Chains A and B, each alone.
Chain A
Amino acid sequence: MKFVTLVNRNYVIASAIIFVIASGAAFYILQILLIERVKEEILDYEQMVIYELESGSTMNTLYPIIELNIVDESYSVENSFTKVFIEDKYDDGEAEPFMEFVDVVDICGLNYKLTIRRSLVEYDELLLSISILLISVLSLVTLLAVWINFRLNASVWMQFTQNLDIIRRFSFRDSKGIELKKTSIHEFNDLNNAVVELTNKLLVDYEAIKKFTENASHEFQTPIAVILINLDEMLQEKISPGMAELIVSTQQSVKRLSDLNRNLLLLTQIENQQFGSIESIHMNDLTERKVKELEALTKSRNIQFVIEHSGHFYINISSVLADILINNLLSNAVMHNYPGGEVRIEFYEGILKISNTGEDNQLTNATIFNRFTKSNSQSYGLGLAIVKQICDTHGIEISYVKNNLHTFILSRSDKL
């Protein structure tokens, strides 16, 4: 869950709870206050009635506001307030709430039972009005607070997500340090500084590794060149056939070592995108040309090439890498073929399919592109790794399917 969502959700829940409790409490307190008010009024009224009676006035019963009954001296009543419902005779006969107070007073030797009632209808209405007002104000304040909180959170985290985007887009290939936007929040700035420091350190290491790979490869090639040339010079001398065989096989092994070294360097170079001048290459034409070259080399094994063009396949790539891509795919299709086999190349709009006949292998789409994965000892296990690397860095998806044919499918993924 997003931090902002979590914070906002909790804030909304807390606000809702506080809102309910606050409005409940307000309602309850208000009600108590109003009832007290009514009781006070009733007591005031009783004093007034008693005073009038004592001064000799005659008081009439006015139901339900006041009732005067003369009762025996023995009559006693617990003077208390009760809430009663009385039918309104003058209105539509509905029961309305009243606060009733019963008291027995002795005025001029007469025992009066005094019943005073006050209608609670207007107080209920008042309570309702005040409650509505109160709740409206409360809910408005709560909503405003939630909204402000949302906006604040969003603006604070915006600075964070902007920098996160910059970090996501960062690539070592640009070989310059990361630049993050300064935020108004101290903690975010701390994080930014840590990220900048970390990437700068990594950048230095990365450059060092890159340099090392290049230098190592360079340093390897010269001694390898010396070995190969010396071996070749030895072949020019008068030597026994046995010695010649040894020299040739040594030469082949050294050549393998050299190729391996070169291919590893190539992989690094592709990874580092050290191939400039990207152009839109029409793979159909390129493949036609490459197949013609290959046909001459594979004549003795009688491998048939079939090319079908049902659409165009363009890649934005440097011409050098396009060459390597097709060479490696075709070499692979030929190398793992059997004499008299077939290589079928199909072009669709934005799709290239290369299938070949060949022995079954244990390789799957998940493993076939790994470095040093090979099904026979003649290959280096780097050709397809290079193909994959080229595809990965040029927005091409590649997959390997095995049914009775071995098929590689390349398609534009248009995401890099």
Chain B
Amino acid sequence: MKVLLVEDEPDLRTIVSSYLLKEGFICEVAETYLKALRKISFYPYDIILLDITLPDGNGMDLLKIIKGDNLKAGIIIISAKNSLDDKISGLDIGADDYITKPFQLSELNARIKAVLRRHQFNGSDKVQFNEISIDINGKIIRINNEPIESTRKEFDLLLFFILNKNRVLTKETIAEHLWGDNFDLADNFDFIYTHLNNLRRKIKAKGGSDYIKNVYGMGYKFGDQ
């Protein structure tokens, strides 16, 4: 999987690209509009992460060029402006997703995987982790090939965990992934705990192991290590 990261901020570029490398992507970077334009015209990419505000041009124009050339890449706009107009017009032009700074790498990862799924497997897309398999289109969780009843939030929660396995996820990160930041209810993370417990119970009932670990003081971690 080849990713092009178009981002002018050096710190962010380094962190994101090294994270993506660790996640098994081939990541190339472009720090300016012109460099990005050159790379896009020479090499194919699966995903382009596109910062809107670049020193020598507007990411939106780049997006128009990519879409005009009918390139196959999935595009995620990264914007520091939480400008909803930008978001709407970006998605209208043909971006697949829109993520606002600041974001967590786990969230970016989940978004990239979702866009990849939509672009590459049109139909049966499954995520497997040991005895757990997730049918993303059908929204079905199977433990040892037996489906379990799950709510939408439980499904999203488990998928987010599996996509970010062996990674500590704070309650804030999880809450933002599940509910967005629509509600200013930061004082209350009990609902995550409730969803988690239900999920654990359902998995256990079908003979699955509990891969969700509490990490004291931080949050949760999914994995078998």
Contacts and interface: CB of A to CB of B under 8 A. Distances in A.
Interface in A193-246: 214, 217-219, 221-230, 232-233, 235-236, 241, 244-245
Contact of A245 (B16, B104, B105, B217): B217
Contact of A226 (B12, B81, B179, B188): B12
Contacts of A266: 82
Interface string A325-344: 00110110011000000000
B84 interface: yes
Contact of B85 (A229, A241, A275, A296): A275
Interface in A248-281: 248, 251-252, 254-255, 258-259, 262, 265-266, 269, 274-276
Interface string A276-296: 100000000000000001101
Interface stretch (B65-73, B142-150, B167-175, B204-212): B167-175
Given A233-B15, A248-B218, A258-B102, 4 more contacts: A218-B80, A222-B12, A232-B173, A255-B172
Given A225-B103, A300-B188, A244 B217 contact: yes
B181 interface: yes
Interface string B71-112: 000000000111111000000000000001111111000000
Nearest to A294: B183
Interface stretch (A21-29, A43-51, A376-384): A376-384
B101 A232 contact: no
A297 B105 contact: no
Interface in B38-90: 53, 80-85
A331 B215 CA distance: 29
Contacts of A228: 102-104
B170 A251 contact: yes
Residue with the highest number of chain A CB atoms closer than 10 Å, among B104, B172, B181, B182 = B182
A225 B185 contact: no
B217 A320 contact: no
B110 to A, nearest CB: 14
Contacts of A404: none
Interface residues of A, number: 56
25 contacts: A217-B81, A218-B80, A218-B81, A222-B101, A225-B103, A226-B9, A226-B15, A229-B19, A229-B105, A232-B168, A233-B19, A235-B219, A241-B217, A248-B219, A259-B184, A274-B83, A274-B85, A275-B85, A301-B188, A301-B190, A327-B182, A328-B184, A331-B183, A378-B187, A383-B184
Nearest to B103: A225
A244 B215 contact: yes
A299 interface: yes
B11 interface: yes
B174 to A, nearest CB: 12
A408 to B, nearest CB: 15
Contacts of A227: 102
Contacts of A334: 183, 185
A252 B172 CA distance: 8
A323 interface: yes
A335 B153 CA distance: 22
B23 to A, nearest CB: 12
A81 B215 CA distance: 131
A203 to B, nearest CB: 22
B185 A335 contact: yes
Interface string A300-318: 1100000000000000000
Contacts of A236: 167-168
A376 to B, nearest CB: 9
A222 B12 CA distance: 8
A275 B12 contact: no
A218 B9 CA distance: 12
A254 B80 CA distance: 15
B181 A259 contact: yes
Contact of A251 (B12, B172, B179, B194): B172
A299 B191 contact: yes
Interface of A: 214, 217-219, 221-230, 232-233, 235-236, 241, 244-245, 247-248, 251-252, 254-255, 258-259, 262, 265-266, 269, 274-276, 293-294, 296-301, 320, 323, 327-328, 330-331, 334-335, 378-380, 383
Interface of B: 9, 11-12, 15-16, 19, 53, 80-85, 100-106, 153, 167-168, 170, 172-173, 179, 181-188, 190-191, 194, 215-219
A262 B12 contact: no
Contacts, number: 131
A380 to B, nearest CB: 7
Given A274-B85, A335-B185, A380-B184, A232 B104 contact: yes
Given A218-B80, A222-B80, A244-B216, A297 B170 contact: no
A262 B182 CA distance: 12
A244 B187 contact: no
Contacts of B82: 221, 262, 265-266
Nearest to A259: B181
B143 to A, nearest CB: 24
Given A293-B179, A379-B184, A235 B84 contact: no
Contacts of A294: 183
A226 B78 CA distance: 13
Given A252-B172, A269-B83, A296 B104 contact: no
B168 A235 contact: yes
Contact of A218 (B16, B53, B153, B172): B53
A335 B9 contact: no
A192 B190 CA distance: 63
A385 to B, nearest CB: 12
A224 B82 CA distance: 14
Contacts of A331: 183-185
A214 B187 contact: no
Contacts of B185: 297-298, 331, 334-335
A301 B194 CA distance: 12
